[in-house]
Structure 1
């Protein structure tokens, strides 16, 4: 499509910005990057349609935890990966179609003194919390453990008072259930919060849980929750916010391994071409047989200065730099011709792309 090349560039900004932002996580202090079971943890949610598929696929270059089904399907179809991402059961605050029971009533009480909904409660309440009302929050938590009896399960715990829920519901009323689920079924309870001042709330919740569950120190002297308990924050986690959360966790002698982070829709929706100063511009032109360097250098904003002349992308160890004005060696150019005149010349797999991303040192690139 030589006369409509701009169509191919239409979604490049989204893909490049998301995958590059994901790679920036490797620039964090090595002690701060959560790594659970060999998987980088930054779950992705919150988009729809084509943007969800394209953005979700870009996220999977650097992460394997996702709730974005469209992205997983795109990678399977075009990059040959049978299952590029994974998730686990989780509850939500509410859903539009929720009803508590056929009459909208909450009745009954368990042997533990926890208010329960009526027997005819909708199956939809198995994965939501607020239809049980505040007085029934403990029952909703108990129901979540029963609905997801094994493996990891995320239960949102800040519909009302997250500290009360963590101390009195998880730490007292349901403590035996949490431990038994782990001992007999390999259960992992992930307590999810998505409100408040994240750096402060995360540490406060960790301290609350430490009063109810056994805590030990790892080899580096940082405190760890038991293996069956983790904390997830999922409200607007940008790279800057993630850095602040993990830095405060470390400052309070907690290991980052206790904490999982999710970006909800932030990674897909709070970005534009200025996020990473993305632009595709002409840098050289041949006019009447004369090659000219093409660039801009606005006196009002020096940051908008563009590269000029023929460009080559070169690599020195793990760092990349751009040689301008034709000064680079063409045979050392890392830019590859992948698509030309409607033909795919190189068919990269997701594993190829992931391996290449892992070799890049982000944040120290020279220009």
Structure 2
């Protein structure tokens, strides 16, 4: 039987303890720096990867969740017990100093580019500095937690690039660009590794889109970014709600969906491949056609198996034969009363291929919505955009010195040196990472360049609390 005094008994307190939110070897690092070290500076960058630009998002979530609460003596006791048993030294004096001299708040300054900014790779996105000589090592100790910002950035980056792809096809084939925010729906909740991943990744997707079935992602966007409702969904069938009627009553299951949810202006999504997609399409276009028309809503058919490229076009052609289509101002055909949602095998490559095939066949992009799951939230990793956090400067005594990693075996891992900041050209919006020899504030840089980083956190205080609407506006302004 476990004792209530066991410091490892309460997993929730462990997960919320910043001292334990690190790598094991970090606990020993305070003994490894030069004895005269008195301050440290680190930075985060994307060193390239799948995309040449990244959409910065998610730091505010991490700061609110982990850094705005003070370190407590109980946290220190818990961490001391763990690291002692774990085989690592523990800097109890340093952590006690933070409690006694900083009221438990970490004396670090975090500066970052505004969330929603789209920045070319190989530029500094975040800087972390600690100039308290007693605990200067904090700038590196926080790496494990802070570098996890790679995940929301990478999800947001991928979704932003996909928004650009879909937008291009809408501009080419559609008369209605207002549908763009609902063209890529988040199906990823069940395919991620944890509830936290669903929340973080799901909210990152919503910077570019407003459709999601990942409830925790929507809740996170609302909660951490002051948004009333960040995304929306519609009633939709799953296979169990159709197959529970039995194969012989599939038509009744379809009819029930229209009866329960079909009404003027409504959207009803019905998975239709439980047995025979083509037979189901025939039923929709004959037996149930009038019910669909009378409902006044839009029926969205989900073919959920087969080769996506082939199935989408076959489904559209079958629906066009039954419901007809209208030629829009771009000379493309728009299905009447019906649409298709493709949620199987959806990834950046298949989205592009399906849209291109539709365009070649004369179908407008209006006719399709994509539901993206594992490829949206899970099939990425830190190396997708090659994220890294590195120390780039250390103060020895009163003098700052550059720090740099430069392995002869891999030039791609060369890090930047010095105390860094990011500049943006006020005329061209070009970004440039520069080294500054002295401390700075948020002043305007002389000439055509302005300071792009802002101080978002300082010694326990969140200094920027951005709204989701503001982040979306910034990201959308960078499209194209």
Q: TM-score range by the shorter chain?
A: 0.7 to 0.9
The match for 2:232 among 78, 81, 86 is 86
* 1:7-33 CA-partner distances (Å, limit 9, x unpaired): 641531111111111111243264414
The match for 1:279 among 388, 396, 411 is 388
CA 1:252–1:305 in 2, change beyond 3 Å: closer, same or farther? farther
Shift of 1:313: 2.7
State the alpha-carbon separation in 2 of the partners of residues 251 and 304 from structure 1.
43
The match for 2:277 among 151, 162, 184 is 162
Are 1:72 and 2:181 an aligned pair?
A: no
State the alpha-carbon separation in 1 of the partners of residues 142 and 455 from structure 2.
14
Which residue matches 1:52? 198
Which residue matches 1:137? 250
State the alpha-carbon separation in 2 of the partners of residues 270 and 360 from structure 1.
25
Equivalent residue runs for 1:241-320 within 5 Å: 241-287=350-396, 289=399, 291-299=401-409, 301-316=410-425, 319-320=429-430
Are the aligned partners of 2:404 and 2:417 in contact in 1 as well (CA < 8 Å)?
yes
State the alpha-carbon separation in 2 of the partners of residues 74 and 337 from structure 1.
23
Q: TM-score, with normalisation over the residues of structure 1?
A: 0.79
State the alpha-carbon separation in 2 of the partners of residues 274 and 236 from structure 1.
22
Which residue matches 1:217? 327
Structure with more helix by fraction: 2
* 1:80-115 CA-partner distances (Å, limit 9, x unpaired): 211111000000012xxxxxxxxxxxxxxxxxxxxx
Q: Which runs of 5+ in 1 are unaligned?
A: 95-127, 363-367
**Aligned to 2:388, what secondary structure does the other structure show?**
coil
Question: Which structure has the bigger radius of gyration?
Answer: 2
Are the aligned partners of 2:404 and 2:414 in contact in 1 as well (CA < 8 Å)?
no
State the alpha-carbon separation in 2 of the partners of residues 154 and 173 from structure 1.
18
Q: Which runs of 5+ in 2 are unaligned?
A: 1-105, 109-137, 438-442
* 1:252-283 CA-partner distances (Å, limit 9, x unpaired): 11111110011123311111111222222233
Structure with more strand by fraction: 2
Shift of 1:163: 2.3
Bigger RCO of structures 1 and 2 (CA < 8 A, at least 6 apart): 2
- How many pairs are equivalent? 322
**Aligned to 2:250, what secondary structure does the other structure show?**
helix
Which residue matches 2:478? 360
State the alpha-carbon separation in 2 of the partners of residues 205 and 19 from structure 1.
30
Are 1:321 and 2:436 an aligned pair?
A: no
**Aligned to 1:62, what secondary structure does the other structure show?**
coil
State the alpha-carbon separation in 2 of the partners of residues 320 and 40 from structure 1.
30
The match for 2:465 among 333, 344, 347 is 347
**Aligned to 1:240, what secondary structure does the other structure show?**
helix
CA 1:342–1:141 in 2, change beyond 3 Å: closer, same or farther? same
Are the aligned partners of 1:237 and 1:264 in contact in 2 as well (CA < 8 Å)?
yes
* 1:311-333 CA-partner distances (Å, limit 9, x unpaired): 43333456543334559x97323
Which residue matches 1:106? none
State the alpha-carbon separation in 1 of the partners of residues 273 and 387 from structure 2.
37
Which residue matches 1:196? 306
Shift of 1:44: 0.9
Alignment RMSD (CA, Å): 2.6
Are the aligned partners of 1:200 and 1:248 in contact in 2 as well (CA < 8 Å)?
no
CA 1:61–1:215 in 2, change beyond 3 Å: closer, same or farther? same
